Amino acid sequence: MAESRVYGARVFHDTYSGTPQGGVIGPLLANIALHGMEAAVGLKYISRGDNVGKRCLILYADDFVVFCESEEDARNARSELSVWLASRGLALSDEKTRISYLSDGFDFLGFNIRRYRAPENSVRLEIVHQALSEIGEVAESSDR
């Protein structure tokens, strides 16, 4: 259980139980506690909502991933987040926090995140042209 206290009459009182792990209120409390994390890692958006910075943040309840362009920038982001979280009484878990290359991949919320190399554009275009010509042949034969 997470440690908690009750505030009333301008005094904090200890509670005998906190928020249960996996409870329905947990994700909401995490979103409240982590609000502002995007600004802390320096994310910038344009008016239609597209990210224009060099970092990207994926946040789901208390789980998050920061995508960076280099290992050095990832280390800087980790330091910035550590300071930001400490100001809220939180800390990164050394066991769960790691820096990895996107080509190596990692698991996040049941998904394997990695960079998959796409085939050369010419190969993809050839497949598209072939499919379009086959569709055209089927359309012509059905018109007869």
pLDDT at 138: 58
Element (H, E) at 65: strand 63-67
Contact of 2 with 15, CB cutoff 8 Å = no
Residue 9 corresponds to which tokens in the numbers above? 């009459």
- pLDDT tens track, the chain, 144 positions: 445 554 555 666 566 666 767 778 888 888 888 888 988 888 888 877 787 778 888 888 888 899 999 999 999 999 999 999 999 888 999 888 999 998 888 888 888 888 877 666 555 556 666 666 766 665 566 555
What residues contact residue 143 under an 8 Å CB cut-off, 6+ apart?
Answer: none
Q: State how far the Cα of 90 lies from the Cα of 125, in Å rounded to an integer.
A: 50
Q: Is 98 helix (H, G, I), strand (E, B) or coil?
A: coil
pLDDT at 128: 65
pLDDT at 43: 85
User: In the 3-class helix/strand/coil scheme, how is 1-58 assigned residue by residue?
Assistant: CECCEEEECCEEEECCCCECCCCCCHHHHHHHHCCCHHHHCCCCECCCCCECCCCEEE
pLDDT at 28: 85
**Phi then psi dihedrals of residue 33, to 5 deg:** -65, -35
Name the amino acid, one letter, at 143.
Answer: D
Give the Cβ contact number of residue 112 at 10 Å. 8
> Residue 102's closest CA among 64, 71, 60, 61?
71
